[in-house]
Amino acid sequence: MTDVYCLSGKGLRQQRILHQPSGTTFLVPLDHSLADGPLSSAAGFASLIASLAVNDVDGIIVHKGRVRFLPTEALGRMALIVHLNGSTRHAPDTDAKTLVSSVAEAVALGADGVSVHINLGSDTEAAQLSDLGLVAEQCARWGVPLLAMVYPRGPRITDSADPTLLAHAANVAADLGADIVKLPFTGSPETMRGVVAASPIPVVTAGGGVLGNADAFVRHIGSAMESGVLGVAAGRNIFRAADPGRMARSVARRVHAGLGSPQSLTSLDLTLSAATAS
């Protein structure tokens, strides 16, 4: 009797998002151009993508229209996650996020996963939670992993890095059907471990904003990984670096070292069946 492990469509896509063999993930969000404006020139963007692809980045996060500008060879080396909602810095309420794409459209583009941004505590929280639930339903139907980026932001939020608040944010993502949750870092491995332990789904920590110092940023990544998170999603500290490829490689080394017994996605969509060996 031989055990045969069969991954579902979602499980197969999840495996493409993870580094092998560590089971961790290093993602680079590049969706900032919708909110804040161009990251670089058009030629510079293509060069950035090519550099990330050869420096051990596991996946990138972009909006749907950017996919056509991605070098084909780069997509063969990194997972593609399509971001489904957004806003611009010119809006009256920059915390309000609107759906601008669908899971079906992301699948048609060849996405390995999708992501949705939620500002917990914002004036438009209700609409954003509704959108997350809708996207989770679509992801279940299409077999697509869902990354929920949950940030505590709003008039009643006094400390966006509060561990109790972040544990709540993680459970909001899990309860509405997300497979992975991206959260801010609490500031210390000890307090972040409590957040990770309270989360029913794997946690990816944010890059920490622009730290301005490469050494400080890499130390931040090391501290985050010590807490046992699945990985890191870092954007600005990568694409604004003097040498994005070199910075990416430094971060990848820390993430893929798997410090702190990182969480695993393996069990989420693994179905065990038995077959008789011939």
Catalytic residue among 10, 64, 97, 151: 151
Q: Which residue type, as a one-letter code, is found at position 199?
A: S
**Residue found by looking up tokens 């929280």 in the block:** 125
Distances (CA, A) of 242 to 95, 111, 115, 254, 255: 30, 29, 28, 19, 21
pTM for the structure as a whole = 0.90
* 198: enclosing H helix or E strand: helix 189-198
200 pLDDT more than 90: yes
67 pLDDT more than 80: yes
Q: What's the confidence (pLDDT) of residue 169? A: 98
Rounded mean pLDDT of 74-83?
Answer: 96
The more confidently predicted of residues 3 and 187 is 187
151 is catalytic: yes
Confidence of residue 80 (pLDDT cuts 50, 70, 90): very high
Confidence of residue 212 (pLDDT cuts 50, 70, 90): low
Catalytic residue among 10, 64, 97, 182: 182
HSE-CB for 255 with a 13 A CA cutoff: 32
Q: Just give the CATH number of 2-269.
A: 3.20.20.70
Cα(177)–Cα(200) distance, rounded to whole angstroms? Answer: 11
Cα(207)–Cα(209) distance, rounded to whole angstroms? Answer: 6
Q: What's the confidence (pLDDT) of residue 116? A: 99
42 pLDDT more than 90: no
Q: Which of helix, strand or coil describes residue 216? A: helix
Rounded mean pLDDT of 201-213?
Answer: 83
Widest CA span of the chain, in angstroms? 66
Confidence of residue 8 (pLDDT cuts 50, 70, 90): confident
Is the N-terminal amide bond of 38 cis, ω within 30° of 0?
A: no
Rounded mean pLDDT of 254-258?
Answer: 89
Q: What's the confidence (pLDDT) of residue 218? A: 87
Other C-beta atoms closer than 10 Å to the C-beta of 69 total 11
Vertex 145: Cα angle to 144 and 150 (nearest 5): 135
190 pLDDT more than 90: yes
Taking the CA atoms of 183, 186, 196 and 204 in sequence, report the sign of the dihedral they define.
positive
Distances (CA, A) of 258 to 22, 29, 63: 6, 21, 29
Q: What's the confidence (pLDDT) of residue 172? A: 99
User: What would the two tokens of residue 26 be?
Assistant: 């290093």
Q: Which of helix, strand or coil describes residue 15? A: helix
- Whether 81 and 115 have beta carbons less than 8 Å apart is answered as yes
266 pLDDT more than 50: no
DSSP track, 38-60: -SS-HHHHHHHHHHHHTTT--EE
Confidence of residue 270 (pLDDT cuts 50, 70, 90): very low
pLDDT, the chain, mean: 90
5 is catalytic: no
The more confidently predicted of residues 173 and 270 is 173
Rounded mean pLDDT of 131-144?
Answer: 98
Rounded mean pLDDT of 33-60?
Answer: 92
Q: Which of 256, 261, 265, 266 is nearest to 25 (CA)?
A: 256
